[in-house]
């Protein structure tokens, strides 16, 4: 049977921490709590579950805090937990069963991260795989009988275990503040984080968040980017153009986006918003329709469902077409 260290980084989680620890204590052989500056009862609550509680000075870097927590682990595998997670009895049982049978060659166990859409996360799926259980010390082995080489790719097992994400509030404001601070300091984010930033904006961003991010995304657009990163950047810039009512800027960025592949729902819906604000409802209908039925969402499902459907309803009402407005109202009900 394998042994498991559960590693957590926390700050001011007194409302949620015990709920999470009640779950993970069942299968954990040790629990590591790294506190990044709590001012509430977080550490006091943690003492009821472990004596391995460490302070870490927050440096605006979640990876640094995670790495510190991993450095304190001593068991064979590390389970990565957040305070806003819940595991039901059936999935706890599956983890206990997994401990008994996990093959030693497996480096990473992925588990479903569920209940995503309810809380406006940066993933367009209600559940998706995340690496949750990882081998603490990985052994490198040689492979191939000739021209031998070190095996670099980890062995990953996709389990059926589901972890429920149940925060008490959205983290978007915190995330925007961190991202804006990093980009204003001149930092260039990784391609993955650039796409995640764009997703955060479309899922939870307000107008001020888009406009605060505009200069950074303009600078990004002038660099050589991978395709998904470039398309995400163009989506953000089109949205900024709509907010600023800058027709030339919208046209420039939207045309580049279309030339780079099929137009996505985010760009189509933004164009619908632009024409609706001008009172050109017929043009707005065309783009809202494309946002729902002719394009695919890349950053936020809202831009291929609720937002363009709501736009179609408003535009047909403005055009005096009650029948079409009612039809799209029924379509909207199906998506909720």
Q: What is the H or E stretch that residue 158 is in? A: strand 156-165
**pLDDT score of 176:** 79
> What pTM was computed for the model?
0.76
Q: How many CB atoms lie within 10 A of CB 14?
A: 17
Alpha helix (H) residue ranges in the chain: 17-24, 42-46, 62-71, 89-101, 172-184, 191-204, 207-221, 227-243, 247-259, 265-277, 281-289, 306-318, 322-335
Same fold, 4-165 and 172-335: no
pLDDT tens per residue, range 306-333:
999 999 999 999 999 999 999 999 999 9
Q: Is the pLDDT of residue 117 over 80?
A: no
The β-bridge partners of 184 are none
Contact 86, 164 (CB under 8 A): yes
* Percentage above 70 pLDDT, the chain: 95
pLDDT tens per residue, range 17-29:
999 999 999 999 9
**pLDDT score of 163:** 94
Q: What is the rounded distance in angstroms from the CA atom of residue 73 to the CA atom of residue 108?
A: 16
pLDDT tens per residue, range 121-159:
545 556 889 999 999 998 888 888 888 899 889 999 999
Contact 78, 5 (CB under 8 A): yes
CATH topology of domain 4-165: Spore Coat Polysaccharide Biosynthesis Protein SpsA; Chain A (3.90.550)
Contact 125, 116 (CB under 8 A): yes
Q: Regarding predicted confidence, which is higher, 24 or 259?
A: 24
Q: Give the list of residues 6+ apart from residue 266 with CB closer than 8 angstroms, or none.
A: 202, 235, 238, 239, 291, 297, 298, 299, 300, 303
CATH class of 172-335: mainly alpha
Q: Is the pLDDT of residue 168 over 80?
A: no
**pLDDT score of 170:** 62
Which sequence spans correspond to the domains of the chain? 4-165, 172-335
Q: Is the pLDDT of residue 270 over 70?
A: yes
**pLDDT score of 145:** 87
pLDDT tens per residue, range 233-245:
999 999 999 999 9
């Amino acid at each position: 049977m394998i042994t498991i260290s559960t590693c957590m980084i926390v700050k001011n989680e007194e409302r949620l921490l015990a709920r999470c620890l009640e779950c993970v204590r069942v299968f954990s052989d040790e629990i590591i709590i790294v506190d990044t500056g709590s001012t509430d009862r977080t550490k006091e609550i943690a003492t009821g579950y472990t004596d391995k509680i460490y302070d870490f000075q927050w440096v605006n870097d979640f990876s640094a805090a995670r790495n510190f927590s991993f450095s304190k682990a001593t068991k064979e595998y590390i389970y990565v937990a957040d305070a806003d997670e819940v595991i039901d009895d059936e999935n706890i049982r599956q983890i206990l069963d997994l401990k008994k049978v996990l093959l030693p060659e497996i480096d990473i166990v992925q588990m479903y991260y569920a209940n995503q859409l309810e809380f406006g996360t940066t993933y367009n799926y209600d559940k998706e795989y995340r690496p949750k259980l990882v081998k603490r010390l990985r052994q490198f082995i040689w492979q191939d009988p000739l021209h031998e080489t070190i095996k670099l790719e980890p062995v990953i097992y996709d389990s059926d275990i589901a972890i429920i994400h149940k925060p008490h509030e959205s983290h978007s404001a915190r995330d925007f503040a961190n991202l804006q601070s990093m980009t204003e300091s001149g930092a260039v984010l990784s391609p993955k984080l650039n796409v995640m930033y764009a997703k955060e904006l479309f899922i939870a961003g307000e107008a001020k968040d888009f406009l605060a991010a505009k200069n950074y995304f303009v600078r990004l657009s002038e660099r050589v980017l991978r395709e998904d990163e470039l398309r995400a950047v163009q989506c953000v810039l089109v949205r900024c153009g709509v907010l600023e009512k800058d027709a030339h800027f919208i046209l420039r960025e939207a045309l580049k986006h279309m030339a780079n592949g099929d137009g996505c729902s985010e760009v189509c819906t933004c164009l619908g918003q632009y024409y609706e604000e001008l009172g050109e409802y017929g043009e707005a209908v065309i783009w809202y329709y494309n946002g729902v039925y002719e394009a695919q969402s890349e950053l936020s499902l809202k831009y291929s469902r609720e937002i363009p459907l709501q736009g179609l309803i408003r535009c047909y009402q403005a055009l005096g077409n009650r029948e079409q407005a009612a039809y799209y109202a029924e379509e909207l009900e199906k998506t909720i």
